[in-house]
Structure 1
Amino acid sequence: MKSALETLSPTRVKMTVEVPFEELKPSLDAAIKHIGEHIQVPGFRKGKVPARIIEQRVGRAAVLEEAVNNALPTFYGQALEENEVRPLGQPEITDLQVPATDGEDFVFTAEVDKRPEIELPDFSDIELTVDEAKVEDEAVEQRLTDLRARFGTLKGVDRAVQDGDFVSIDLSAEIDGDEIDSVTGVSYEVGSKNMLEGLDEALVGMTADETKNFTAPLAGGDQEGRDASCTVTVTAVKERELPELDDEFAQLASEFDTLDELKADLTAKAEIDAKFAQGVAARDQLLEAILDKVEVPIPESIVDAEVHSHLEGEGRLEDDEHRAEVGESTRKGLKTQLVLDAIAEREEVQVEQQELIEFLVMSSQQYGMDPNQFAQSLDQEGQIPAMVAEVARRKALATVLEKVSVKDTAGNVIDLNEAVPGTEGDEDEVASDADDAQAEKADA
């Protein structure tokens, strides 16, 4: 096999591939054998039909079609390797010339987008500035309030709804007189703003058994974004009573015996979170700085295909303004991947199995799936290599982050080794520790 490479642009090439008949013949023989196993010819046992008879029976075109379909990926892959092309997306196969008679060459051309050549500069001169890792008293108090809320109790009240109350509601939405959706007996925290736009404003001031109408854009479904006529009925109003802040609460909500110990622990966790926030801010700033320093040609056909798929899924193919927004974010996302991949190669980043496992566990939690089922699903879909690449990109960025200057707004040099993953959700851990603490005290 021989191939010729033509560069169409920095991100697209065309390969003309010529395969001698001798190299295609094993695929022809395999096609004839496969077809022969599935046809019956009088006078011959299945699988024992001569090649000449098979070609007469099904036609040479059918044999060639199966042979070419099976052989094409192999020859295409060899051409990629021979020309050191790293493809992006699927190729466009054209000018297919199959051998009409024995001895003729098999010829085809393949156009494909490829990874562009990226020149990476020295990033060590980048300087980053992040906020100071200060822990305000208000932040600790908020953690304490959140923890109290977890141990609070709901009590029915006979008054108008206020912000922060919990209400039981019936809710329905319709467009042009047609009901789109409805729910009954839903519990909702007023002020959380996690349902329909305008619902919280409508609820404030209502009383039990009162009904009110309001208009809101739908947040999901086939009618997402369209204004709907909504009707809400309050069936019950409750307020949350918080436990007193004392040593008894500390013992209930944590492993600590005193409120002072609990506050000290929450303060320490807030300090860790503040340092973690510095690390996140530094990482985000660094990525933007890297993208500003590196020029990357972007394959527009890849972008166009991604944008079309995105808009088609949303049913917004005719929304030119949204198309521009999606196009911009898609280009930036693709550029980010290409640059980080290039850094990973330059830094010879390797992904250890344990690192991949930790990433899969973290990702599975985001999807609310069992880690093993999540990993099996990815494996079945052939997505494990993409996960490995994502871990490599994260490590590549971290490698650069170790080489740049990071200071806070006060001019202090930041040690990013201290910016470890913080305690997001630590209030949950504190609360779950309460059971262990109570059990230990019971055993004592």
Structure 2
Amino acid sequence: MKSAVETLGPTRAKLTVEVPFEELKPSLDKAYKTIAQQINVPGFRRGKVPPMVIDRQVGRGAVLEQAINEVVPQKYVEALQTHDLQPLAQPEVEVTRIDDNEAIEFTAEVDVRPEITVPDWHGLSAEVEDLTVSDDDVDEQVQALRERFGSLTDVERPAADGDFVTLDLVATQNGEPVDGAEVSDMSYRVGRGGILEGLDDALVGMGAGDDKTFTSQLVGGDLVGQDVEVQVKVSQVQEQELPAYDDEFAQLASEFDTADELTDDVRSRLGNGKRLEQAAAARDAVLERLLDQIEVPLPESMVADELTERRGSIEQQLSFAGITLDKYLEDEGQTQEEFEADLERRVRDAVAAQFVLDEVAGQLELGVDQQELTEHMVRRAQQSGQDPQEFANHMFEHNHIPELVAEIRRGKALAQIVESATVTDGSGNVVDLKNLRPDGTLGDPAEADDEADGDAEPDEEPTQA
């Protein structure tokens, strides 16, 4: 086999492959055998029809086509390996020449991983915001805890913001009920939002037995984005009574004896959460600093596919939250053009980051062992609300394991880049990322060093996934 590569751009290549006929012959013989099993020719048993008869009955061209369809993918992969190309998508293949008994030739245009040079990433510096837990943050958490233990009492007055109502709701268009847009005896907290725009405004002032009709737009189904008439009926109004925040409540709601101890614990847990958020911001800031130093060519088809996927994911999340994209943009103070521009910028940064981290992972020869792969799949399953075993089965059945391995390698590469960087907060304090535990607490540096020493097993090689 002969092959040549033509660079069409930083992320696009064209392979020209010539396959001698002797390399096509095994596939051609296989094609004859397959066709012999599929046709009936008088005087010959099924499967025993000679090639010359098949040529007369079916046509030599049909046999060649079947053989070529089998051999082209094999030779395409061989050509990729010969020229050390890493494809990013399916190729556009064209058979350009068929010389019977001599050779065939085909071309394959494909997006390929760009060649990039990553500068020395050791010692990068970045800045993140200060870690602060305000009294308002604590009060919000305490309020949520009190609401968990609150009780509901019927009231003989119109509903106000924060009240709970029991309601029936039905949407119609042109006098006809909308399929799937009807609920009965639903408990709903006024002001919560997330179902229909205008519902909260309609409920305020309604008492038990009242009904009202208002115009809104559905966020899902066949009529998404269209005006519908919504009739809401209230059968019950309840007010939530919250328990006093005192030592007795602390003993009821937690393992602490006093409200002060519970407050301190709330503040500590909020601090741990904020520390994890700060660490995530630090990783983003360090990676952004590295990307600023590199020009990464991006395949436009890959960017377009990722844009479509991201846009669909956002719209799905908004739909689940009961919010239309137009309403979301209005709340965010963004135009459609600004939203699209911001989304494309984030997608381009994400794709560029993948290429850079893959390059760093390759330089560091980072591997992935079975335990890391299992833990990663469990986390991914939990994030998507799926059963871990079902998630793992799906990943294996659909050959997504290489993608998961790539994600883990990128994460390990980024961790090493961040660990070598200096990250400070807005006040100039160095942010301790090396000793950060998964729960947001900080470990003892001496313990971390001991664990690192204990993990070093020079006689054991990690199992490559």
TM-score (norm: length of structure 1): 0.85
Contact kept, 8 Å, 2:275 with 2:440, in 1: the verdict is: no
Q: Are 1:161 and 2:159 matched, yes or no?
A: yes
CA contact (8 A) 2:167 2:232 kept: yes
Residues in 2 aligned to 1:171 and 1:219: alpha-carbon distance in whole angstroms: 15
Q: CA distance change for structure 1 residues 189 and 343 in 2, over 3 Å: closer, same or farther?
A: farther
What is the RMSD of the two structures over their aligned residues, measured on CA atoms?
A: 2.9
| Match status 1:147 vs 2:145 | yes
Deviations 1:335-392 (A, max 9, x none): 2322222232233332232222222222222322211111112222222221222222
Q: Given that residues 129 and 426 in structure 2 are in contact (C-alpha distance below 8 angstroms), is that contact kept between their aligned partners in structure 1? A: yes
Shift of 1:195: 1.7
CA contact (8 A) 1:303 1:330 kept: yes
Matched, 1:380 2:380: no
Q: In the alignment, is the contact (CA less than 8 A) between 1:93 and 1:108 conserved in 2?
A: yes
- Partner of residue 347, structure 1: 364
Partner of 1:292: 292
Asked whether 1:107 is paired with 2:105, we answer: yes
- State the distance in 1 between where 2:351 and 2:293 align: 16
- CA shift at 1:241, angstroms? 2.4
CA contact (8 A) 1:172 1:183 kept: yes
Other structure's SS at 2:216 match? strand
1:124 aligns with 2:141: no
- Partner residue in 2 for 1:417: 434
Q: What's the secondary structure of 1:237's corresponding residue?
A: strand
Residue pairs, 1:30-69, within 5 angstroms: 30-69=30-69
Q: Structure 1 residues 289 and 171 mapped into 2: Cα distance closer, same or farther (>3 Å)? A: farther
User: In the TM superposition, what is the alpha-carbon distance from 1:311 to its structure 2 partner?
Assistant: 7.7
Query: Is the contact made by 2:218 and 2:224 (CA closer than 8 Å) also made in structure 1?
Result: yes
- State how far apart, in whole Å, the 2-side matches of 1:142 and 1:310 are: 32
- 1:390 matched to 2:427? The reply is no
Give the match for residue 266 of structure 1.
266
| Unaligned runs of at least 5 residues, structure 2 | 316-334, 442-465
Describe how 1:170-319 pairs up with structure 2 within 5 A: 170-175=168-173, 177-180=175-178, 181-304=181-304
Of 375, 385, 388, the residue aligned with 1:371 is: 388
Number of aligned positions between the proteins: 419
Q: Is the 8 A contact 1:190 1:203 kept in 2?
A: yes
Measure, in 2, the Cα distance between the counterparts of 1:347 and 1:182.
57
* Alpha-carbon shift at residue 324 of structure 1 (Å): 5.8
- Structure 1 residues 305, 422: closer, same or farther in 2, change over 3 A? closer
- TM-score by length of structure 2 reads 0.81
Query: 2-side partners of 1:310 and 1:129: how far apart?
Result: 28
Residues 120, 294 of structure 1: 8 Å contact kept: yes
Deviations 1:149-191 (A, max 9, x none): 2222222222221222222222233445554322222222222
Query: Is contact 1:20–1:106 with CA below 8 Å preserved after alignment?
Result: yes
Q: Which whole-Å CA distance do the structure 2 matches of 1:16 and 1:372 have between them? A: 44
The equivalent residue for 1:337 is 354
Helix, strand or coil for the counterpart of 1:86? coil
* Aligned pair partner of 2:379 in 328, 352, 362: 362
SS in 1 for 2:116: coil
Structure 1: segments with no counterpart, 5+ residues: 425-444
Aligned residue in 1 for 2:449: none
Residue 23 in structure 1 maps to residue 23 in structure 2: yes
User: Match of 2:88, SS?
Assistant: strand
Question: Which deviations, in whole Å up to 9, do the C-alpha atoms of 1:250-289 show, x marking residues without a partner?
Answer: 3433344544443343333222112112102212222332
Instruction: Go from structure 1 to structure 2 and tell me whether the alpha carbon gap of 1:323 and 1:411 turns closer, same or farther (over 3 Å shift).
Output: closer
